[in-house]
Amino acid sequence: MNKHTIDVALRIDSSPDSVYAILSDHAHLDVFRELSDSLLLRPGALDPNGLGAERQVVINMFGWLPIRFTEDITLAEPPNEFHYLISKARVMAGPVPLWAGVKHYGGQVKLAPVAGGCRAQWTSTIEVRIPLLGDRLGGIIKKEGERIFLSVLEQLKTRVERG
């Protein structure tokens, strides 16, 4: 089985501080159209959205398939980056334990200052461990993940650049 890395980047005409504040506001990520719900399940030790926080987001994969992800914040270095690890995932339409055949190696959002703004890069690596289908499904998830991550960054860009 192969690992599949979702990797998107976008230049945003806003400071890393502003972008970080929005992307790490775990209870309000549902402002982005691909996310229909978001909750802060457990606050971090020093910062509610920081290291040790646990969040839950519902992402509408392919625009119609709601999947609830529970994620742990494993690194938080505002305003430069945060990392997360998916601990659970579940299709909202029924009792399907979607995550049974998937290993998440981690995701991260990195923000680097550039002239007049920042460069936002979002990556996440998975491996689909389902015999005969794993690589094909991994490729499909990678492509959809890239669409969703880029859409979120583009919406954020529009939001912060408009003020």
- Residue 95 has what pLDDT? 60
Environment class of 97 (CB within 10 Å of its CB; exposed 0-12, middle 13-18, buried 19+) = exposed
Ramachandran angles phi, psi of 50, nearest 5°? -100, -155
The three-state DSSP-derived secondary structure of 9-37 is: EEEECCCHHHHHHHHCCHHHHHHCCCEEE
- Entry pTM: 0.93
Contact 106, 127 (CB under 8 A): no
* Radius of gyration in angstroms for the set of CA atoms belonging to the chain, rounded to a whole number: 15
Give residue-wise pLDDT tens across range 132-146. Answer: 878 888 899 999 999
Contact 78, 65 (CB under 8 A): no
Domains of the chain: 3-162 (3.30.530.20)
Give residue-wise pLDDT tens across range 141-161. Answer: 999 999 999 999 999 999 998
Residues 6+ apart with CB under 8 A from 96: 90
